[in-house]
Structure 1
Amino acid sequence: MENINFNNDNSYFKPTAEELAKVQQSRVPLNTTRCTEKWVNILNSWRNHQNVGYTYTLESLSSNEQIEKEMCEFLYGVRTKKGDKYSRASLKNAVASISRHLKNSILYWNYNLLDKNSFPKLYATLDGTLKEMKRLGIGAAKLHEGLLRRVFLWICLLGCPRGGEHYKLLIDQFEDTEKGFIFKKFQQKNDQGGNQHTFEILFPSDIADKVEPNADIRKYISMRHPNCTTKEFYLGISNASGQCYLNRALGEKWIRGMFREICLVCDIDISGRNISNHSGRDTAIQSIFDAGNEEIEAMAISGHNSSADEVLEDKELPKSNTINKNEASKDKEQI
């Protein structure tokens, strides 16, 4: 057998620690990274404030008991730059984000701050704070904000758009009929087949007082200003009295985190899960298969022209990217 001299072979190399860290970090969605950085900055600003006076970082602590104590203080004491309390969804997001930060910063620290068994006082503080805020009506979503979230969720589950499609949805893509709304969907360049064309998806009829996607979408459209000239479907939320939505498109930042925000508002634990707007599409496709339907049914909604796509071929999506029907069956008043 011929001896191979690997010393002169450039096929092998030893990656640097920085290269490994970069590829490991690449699996984390950009939105998750941004959210973590945001809340770590807010945490540190609170800790350094003269009324708080912590001169060290949270990750420098070795005692979970002390970490829990200071996190309880942070949750109840943190305020926005205007001096208001953060929304209930934001506070949940804060705990999840800081928990991720501690996992990445403290060697062998493999805990979840949202785990009530490991951090019972923190869980009680968060739960008590959220209930107090709900009772006082603090940080609650406006009714038209909750309606916007419901409409977004219906479109995710019934129209199966890709994550990026939400930014470009137009009001003209929705036609109201006696049977239900028709969603005129533009096929994406990277869908199977490659050609861009429109195909139509008929949303199912409403079930009164139980499942009412068409009623929600119809109500949302009716609340657009009579002189609204914005062609985009999602509109910015107005703070003015007597006006629900602005005559301009909803900001990309709002849309980008919508599905994740819905999960948090509905008390769905998404810590350690890669949840994004595309998760709505993944969840819809998986639900079609879970209901016992064939590939052709999924293809009719998703826009795939072939079953060669791995999602359709395997009929199984990563659970970390989807929301199951038990998690999704929340009271619609929560969103």
Structure 2
Amino acid sequence: MSSFKKASELLNSSNDTVTINELKGRLTHLENNQLSEIHKSLSKSSNKETFDRPCIETLQKYVSSTKPKNTNKNTCLWVSRFESFVNDTQPNIDLMTLYDKKAIAMLLCEFIIVIQTKDKKEYKANSLYNGICAINWFYQEIFKDREPFNIHEDFEFRIVRDTLHTRMIELEEINNGEYNGADPLTDEEMVKIFEHPDISSNSPDGLLRRVFLWVGCCTARRGGSYHNIMASHFKKRDDGGYNIVTIHDKTHQGGYYHQTNSNQQPVHIIPSDEPGTYGACHDIRKYLSLRPNNAEENFFLRINKDIKENWYSTFHLGQDKLSGMLKEICNITGIDCTNRRIVNHSLRKCTAQKLNDEGLDSQAIMNVTLHRSIAGLNVYRTQNEKQKLDIAKLTLPGISKDILMQENLEKSAEDLNTEQRIENLSSQEETKTEPFTEIQNITIPLKRKDDLIDNFRLKFVKCSNFTINITK
């Protein structure tokens, strides 16, 4: 044991204190020398800068703008409703100075059970949940200097969570499971809208509405974000189309809290018009050319009272007017909105559903809608009626995918406009047009079992001298 030294003795013997202190001193000297050089270079600067300190109002603006406007608006709405409830039922209680969690929990339970819309209708379940989340965020701000506050986690609010759970189930049953979201327009309704004479590009109102519809369909924007579109966001493409750059969006908020790894902003493409047609690019190009040079940066402008001089004003279209644009268009064009919630957000749903019906994969649709997750996208798309019907048929005994495919092929053949084809052939005969003499090769893929080929039917109209070759 005598041959071994204690750890402390070994440390002291192997590290010279004087040498170590000398090394530390030299390092400190180098660091101070660097700071000294920086200070000297600053002192040599002859241009003395002056700065204006921001006032408290400016500072407050930057601090309060971290939350999205809709979040603040929703919070104010629900807190005011909760406060009105307490003032009416418990006038001796001041919510702004109430710091007792158990008392707040009891008031919230009563509020959840009785709260209705101002026109005495029941809320949708998800609306009530979002309202409680807004109240929770408000109280977290009030309690931040006292203690943690969380309705969704704290033990004191277990009764609130149970009450909210039961109430949401009750509301789901009352509303048949429907949620308070926007309803999409069908593709047929969109075509009807664009063909309506009041949605013509030959008038300032019609052109403004058409451009609004084109932008909504091609970008699938959220209902409240049209006001944020600027004229500078439209970039001309070499092929004649436009790129619409999205600077900020609900899922691309940017800033310190929402930094992304990509330096590129989301871009939506408005494809160039087909030759000989007047589509989205024609209307957008015409609208941009009619904007006054000194107009505000906002893309959507007011219509001038006197359109002889200029169609559009230099001032932007009001947010309330813009928010009701699609509903106004539907009323003008005779689209039935009975028992439907048609708002600007409906165009977003319409685009997402259309792309889904066309068979695009989730990532391709998300590139348009700018969703971050498939779960978020699924809210905007559902199976169409044909898909639901096909799945329902598969639940029946004796029905398989092969039989269902055969039925669909037969129905598709029957849906062809036979009369039109006969009419075309007849008109060819009348004009003494020479019939086709070339061999027409038509390939029909059959993805079915061998025993089902016998049941396959082909329909030929006014044909002669044809041969059918069946190959496996």
Give the TM-score of the pair, scaled to structure 2. 0.37
CA distance in 1, matches of 2:270, 2:336: 29
What is the match of residue 143 of structure 1?
203
Write the letter of the residue equivalent to 1:306: S
CA contact (8 A) 1:182 1:203 kept: yes
CA contact (8 A) 2:304 2:312 kept: yes
What is the match of residue 184 of structure 1?
245
In structure 2, do the counterparts of structure 1 residues 24 and 217 end up closer, same or farther at CA, with 3 Å as the change threshold? same
What is the match of residue 24 of structure 1?
121
1:172 to 207, 232, 239: 232
What is the match of residue 293 of structure 1?
360
- Asked if residue 237 in structure 1 is aligned to residue 303 in structure 2, the reply is yes
CA distance in 2, matches of 1:172, 1:257: 24
C-alpha displacement of 1:149: 0.3
Counterpart of 1:162 in 2: which secondary structure? coil
What is the match of residue 199 of structure 1?
266
Residues 28-63 of structure 1 show CA distances to partners (whole Å, capped at 9, x for unaligned) of xxxxxxxxxxxxxxxxxxxxxxxxxxxxxxxxxxxx
CA distance in 1, matches of 2:282, 2:201: 20
Superposition pairs of residues 1-20 of structure 1, within 5 angstroms: 19-20=115-116
CA contact (8 A) 1:295 1:312 kept: no
Residues 266-306 of structure 1 show CA distances to partners (whole Å, capped at 9, x for unaligned) of 21101211111111111111111011111111111111232
In structure 2, do the counterparts of structure 1 residues 272 and 184 end up closer, same or farther at CA, with 3 Å as the change threshold? same
What is the match of residue 323 of structure 1?
none
CA distance in 2, matches of 1:14, 1:203: 51
In structure 2, do the counterparts of structure 1 residues 171 and 17 end up closer, same or farther at CA, with 3 Å as the change threshold? same
CA contact (8 A) 2:251 2:370 kept: no
CA distance in 2, matches of 1:253, 1:315: 27
Counterpart of 2:315 in 1: which secondary structure? strand
Gap regions ≥5 residues in structure 1? 1-9, 28-133, 320-335
In structure 2, do the counterparts of structure 1 residues 12 and 166 end up closer, same or farther at CA, with 3 Å as the change threshold? closer
CA distance in 2, matches of 1:164, 1:290: 25
Counterpart of 2:266 in 1: which secondary structure? strand
Write the letter of the residue equivalent to 1:149: R
CA contact (8 A) 1:187 1:195 kept: no
In structure 2, do the counterparts of structure 1 residues 313 and 245 end up closer, same or farther at CA, with 3 Å as the change threshold? closer
- Asked if residue 155 in structure 1 is aligned to residue 215 in structure 2, the reply is yes
Gap regions ≥5 residues in structure 2? 1-105, 125-195, 386-472
Write the letter of the residue equivalent to 1:283: C
What is the match of residue 266 of structure 1?
333
CA distance in 2, matches of 1:314, 1:269: 21
CA RMSD of aligned residues (A): 3.7
Write the letter of the residue equivalent to 2:237: T
In structure 2, do the counterparts of structure 1 residues 267 and 231 end up closer, same or farther at CA, with 3 Å as the change threshold? same
CA distance in 2, matches of 1:317, 1:185: 29
C-alpha displacement of 1:15: 7.5
Q: Higher RCO, 1 or 2 (CA under 8 Å, sep at least 6)? A: 1
Counterpart of 2:368 in 1: which secondary structure? helix
CA distance in 2, matches of 1:288, 1:16: 39
In structure 2, do the counterparts of structure 1 residues 26 and 198 end up closer, same or farther at CA, with 3 Å as the change threshold? farther
CA contact (8 A) 2:234 2:244 kept: yes
Superposition pairs of residues 1-335 of structure 1, within 5 angstroms: 19-20=115-116, 24=121, 26=123, 143-179=203-239, 180-190=241-251, 194-195=258-259, 198-208=265-275, 212-225=279-292, 227-240=293-306, 241-309=308-376, 311-312=377-378, 315-316=381-382
C-alpha displacement of 1:170: 0.4
CA distance in 2, matches of 1:192, 1:236: 28
CA distance in 2, matches of 1:219, 1:233: 13
Between Structure 1 and Structure 2, whose CA radius of gyration is higher? 2
In structure 2, do the counterparts of structure 1 residues 234 and 20 end up closer, same or farther at CA, with 3 Å as the change threshold? closer
Aligned length: 200
CA contact (8 A) 1:160 1:285 kept: yes
More displaced 10-residue stretch of structure 1: 236-245 or 203-212: 203-212
Counterpart of 2:224 in 1: which secondary structure? helix
C-alpha displacement of 1:186: 2.7
Counterpart of 1:186 in 2: which secondary structure? coil
C-alpha displacement of 1:163: 0.9
Write the letter of the residue equivalent to 1:233: F
CA contact (8 A) 1:175 1:181 kept: yes
Q: Percent identity?
A: 28
